[in-house]
Amino acid sequence: MLKFEAILIDPSPGEIAERLADAADAANKRCRTRLLKDDPAKWRKFARQVGASPEGFDLFRGGKGGVPGTQLVAAWWTDHIGRKHVVLRGRRIEHDTSKVLLDKSELARRPPLWHCYPQHLYQRFLPTAGEPQIDWIAVCGCGATGTPESLGWMGETCGPCHDRREEAGDDALRDNRGGWLHAVRNPFQAVAFSRDGQWVAAVEYGGPVSAWDLQNPCGVQRHELARDEIGTTPYLAFAGPHNESVVLSEPSVSHPGTVIFRRDDSKPYSQLACDALIAPAFSTSLHGSQLIFDNALSDLILVSVPEGNLLKQVPIDSGFWLTPPTHPSARFVCLVTTEGVRFHSSESLKEIARVAYRIISRAESHTYQLVRAAYHESTQTVFVGRHNDLEVYDLKAENYGGSFSLYQIPVASYQNHPTMIRAMALSADERHLFVAAGERLVVFDTVTHAAVAAFAWHLGPIACLAVSPDGRTLATTGVEGVVKLWPMDRLLAP
């Protein structure tokens, strides 16, 4: 998707116009339709706008209507010492889920600073007695968190980090955390952390699997694989004692299959050969060389990876499907049935907890097909997300603890996109429940069940999420063609 990026500091009008032409040319490469034409008069006009105001943005696109189309976002912003930052990004938008990136009115909901340096800027919603408190906060790679003004924000870093880089070069910021990871062509469908937290993998719609070493995110390994866009959610995880393999599975009747890649090799290593696998949805286990599968025959099975040996098989008395894994070493796996959800130990496969859904009317039942759930072991509470409702079940009291419509929670409502719950996961310390609701990430307290905050970064609905083993980072995907890395330890710090 992203084909060109340039950051210019105090550029001349001629330099801006020249780089805009470069951006349009790069974004058009290997494309034939709906191209962005080189328009020197338009580039000069934009350069004059940059000189006339302290901040702003503009969208240039090729073609009209939907996808495909070439997109060029040009934004500028002035820091507190008077330097003007001009940032140009050229993209090719080809997937229908990303067409929002061609809509200028949608992009205008974000400030120019976000368009310049989006990887470190977040919109935060805090609950109050009335309307939520809304502000924009920046999180530097060093961990400094606050409003851009309070941090002396200098574009990609806070003021102190900028000074260190000026004095000692880029190596001075080697330990700073990154903010995002880029796709090749289309948005990502699934994301996963390795068990040591060093690696992140993601798979694009109909495209490759990518794996990044977070200590060197520029050294991405692309795993090429011919895939159809079959509409089902792929399952993705790392496997092996040293996270040396990446496992991709697409549970579909017409396209069943589980493919294993070596992390450092672009070609598939093998198909997972196991006669028990029919529609191979899976979840992670406590052991890196094992995965837990749904074999579509009402059995929960434990399979060795990459050998495909059947290690354990547990019959389930109801049809079910496994929710996609959100943690690389989850202690429980979630089974979704027509009557409710169940949690099984990821080591013994024994049932730990189950809840039956509250009774819903036939008129609303069609809105509850997408189910996500999380089990809070210490309080024996099950959280179930169905459509735009978060339901709470207290297992100790053996009762239904209530339902919260996200439309009724101020920090989660008033979005441009529906608040359907597409993903949810507990934090590593189980203090918080992360709910991907529409374009916002809503954070709930697992004891009081109150929403403590919500954050917006994505321009469209969040598609999936994953929690790092240490709990410091949350990875999400959406329409933008990036894996967004959220520094949750800093965003939720007092």
CB neighbour list of residue 267: distance below 8 Å, 6 or more residues apart: 223, 224, 261
**Would 233 be classed as within a structural domain?**
yes
pLDDT at 494: 81
CB neighbour list of residue 352: distance below 8 Å, 6 or more residues apart: 332, 343, 344, 345, 375, 377
Our CA dihedral for 376, 377, 382, 384, rounded to 10 degrees, sits at: 50
- pLDDT exceeds 90 at position 270: no
pLDDT at 184: 86
Point out the least confidently predicted range of 130-134, 366-370, 477-481.
366-370
**258 — pLDDT class (breaks 50, 70, 90):** confident
- pLDDT exceeds 80 at position 276: no
Q: How much is the pTM?
A: 0.92
> pLDDT, tens digit, for every residue of 146-169?
999 999 999 999 999 999 999 999
188 and 53 in a common domain: no
**Would 478 be classed as within a structural domain?**
yes
487 and 369 in a common domain: yes
198 and 70 in a common domain: no
Q: Which residue has the higher pLDDT, 205 or 73?
A: 73
> pLDDT, tens digit, for every residue of 163-185?
999 999 988 998 899 999 999 88
pLDDT at 358: 65
pLDDT at 360: 47
**Would 126 be classed as within a structural domain?**
no
Average pLDDT, the chain: 87
Point out the least confidently predicted range of 39-48, 329-338, 407-416, 423-432.
407-416
135/121 Cα distance (integer angstroms): 11
**Would 245 be classed as within a structural domain?**
yes
pLDDT at 249: 82
CATH at 379? 2.130.10.10
Question: How many residues in the chain?
Answer: 494
**What tokens appear for 443 in the block?**
């954070």
Which of the listed residues 77, 111, 145 is the one where a domain comes to its end? 111
3-state SS string for 99-140:
HHHHCHHHHCCCCHHHHHCHHHEEEEEECCCCCCEEEEEEEC
**Mean pLDDT for the stretch of residues 413-421:** 77
> pLDDT, tens digit, for every residue of 34-80?
899 999 999 999 999 999 999 999 999 998 877 899 999 999 999 99
- In DSSP terms, 340 is beta-bridged to 356
Which strands make up the sheet holding 440-445, listed edge to edge?
A: 145-146, 133-139, 121-126, 451-456, 440-445, 432-437, 421-426
Q: Which residue has the tokens 């990036």?
A: 482
**268 — pLDDT class (breaks 50, 70, 90):** low
Point out the least confidently predicted range of 48-62, 195-209, 266-280, 379-393.
266-280
Q: Which residue has the higher pLDDT, 31 or 74?
A: 74
CB neighbour list of residue 226: distance below 8 Å, 6 or more residues apart: none
297 and 440 in a common domain: yes
Q: DSSP string of 322-342?
A: EPPP-STT-SEEEEE-SSEEE
341/382 Cα distance (integer angstroms): 9
Element (H, E) at 28: helix 13-28
pLDDT at 365: 41
Which of the listed residues 111, 127, 153 is the one where a domain comes to its end? 111
> pLDDT, tens digit, for every residue of 322-368?
888 899 888 899 998 888 899 999 989 999 999 887 654 444 444 44
CB neighbour list of residue 454: distance below 8 Å, 6 or more residues apart: 124, 125, 132, 411, 412, 440, 441, 442, 443
- pLDDT exceeds 90 at position 86: yes
421/401 Cα distance (integer angstroms): 19
pLDDT at 60: 96
pLDDT at 24: 95
**Would 159 be classed as within a structural domain?**
no
185 and 94 in a common domain: no
206 and 347 in a common domain: yes
pLDDT at 280: 61
341 and 218 in a common domain: yes
pLDDT at 472: 96
**Would 128 be classed as within a structural domain?**
no
Point out the least confidently predicted range of 101-115, 185-199, 352-366.
352-366
Which of the listed residues 111, 129, 150 is the one where a domain comes to its end? 111
pLDDT at 254: 47
51 and 184 in a common domain: no
440 and 342 in a common domain: yes
Structural domain of 100 = 2-111
pLDDT at 226: 57
**Would 163 be classed as within a structural domain?**
no
pLDDT at 363: 41
Q: How many structural domains comprise the chain?
A: 2
pLDDT at 294: 80
pLDDT at 362: 40
**Would 137 be classed as within a structural domain?**
no
Point out the least confidently predicted range of 3-17, 57-71, 80-94, 304-318.
304-318
3-class DSSP state of 165: helix
**Mean pLDDT for the stretch of residues 123-136:** 92
> pLDDT, tens digit, for every residue of 280-315?
678 887 777 888 888 767 889 888 887 778 889 999
Point out the least confidently predicted range of 50-64, 85-99, 355-369, 428-442.
355-369
**426 — pLDDT class (breaks 50, 70, 90):** very high
Contact 90, 70 (CB under 8 A): yes
**Mean pLDDT for the stretch of residues 233-262:** 76
**253 — pLDDT class (breaks 50, 70, 90):** very low
pLDDT at 76: 98
